[in-house]
Amino acid sequence: MFNKVITVLTLLMVAILSGCVTSSHMTAVDSTPDKLKPQPGKSLLVFLRPSSYGGSIQSTLYDGDEYIGTISAKTKVAYQANPGQHTFMIVGESADFMQATLDEGKTYYTVIAPRMGVWKARFSLRPQNGQIPAEDIKKWMDATRLVEIGPEGKAWATENAASVMQKKNKYWPKWQSKPAASKQTLHSSSGL
């Protein structure tokens, strides 16, 4: 009897968790040098997820309310941003935020850090403000594949805009109430 209960619970958990897995909204592209340097008048921000922890769960990235990509384990997104102030958001089970000041012509790096959630993984943005050795960043760049938004990603972002906005509205006030020292911030001086 005990084995049957364990089997039923295991199957139930697999069914629940399989509903949390999302299909890819991104297309793999070659990491050509022009894709990994700032375009004229822009700043480049590379979001890296070198970890395979929580591998089957994806997270979505936003610059304000603009969808900029979906990131999976062992992938990276190269985002051409306008220089200046930005608030980036990552959405998984919850939403987390990072403020950034970007200078024109510079490249910045942010690691996507998965962490334990209640039903699926949560994610945090970890800006690299010069505290990580360049050889580690190179290792992460080599270990991840570059992806860009595909047609499925654009459709997903449109279809899920209301759900994403609900998470933003729920978690943004919590993030704003944190002490300044505990808010993730990417400094303009961190650009290379």
- Look at residues 118, 101, 50, 44 and name the one whose alpha carbon lies nearest to residue 78: 44
Residue 64 is predicted with a pLDDT of 92
User: How far is C-alpha 100 from the geometric centre of its chain's CA atoms?
Assistant: 14
Q: Could you list the pLDDT tens digit for every one of the 192 residues in the chain?
A: 555 545 444 434 433 333 333 346 777 777 776 778 999 999 999 999 886 655 567 788 999 999 998 888 888 999 999 999 999 999 888 889 999 999 999 999 998 887 665 555 677 788 888 777 788 888 888 888 898 888 888 888 888 889 889 999 999 999 899 998 888 888 888 888
Q: Is 65 in contact with 166 (CB distance < 8 Å)?
A: no
Model pLDDT, residue 13: 44
Q: What is the pTM of this model?
A: 0.79
Closest Cα to residue 48, out of 151, 142, 175, 167? 142
DSSP class per residue in 57-97: --EEEEETTEEEEEE-TTEEEEEEE-SEEEEEEEESSSEEE
What is the number of alpha carbons within 13 Å of residue 109 lying toward its C-beta? 21
Bridge partners (DSSP) of residue 75 are 49, 145
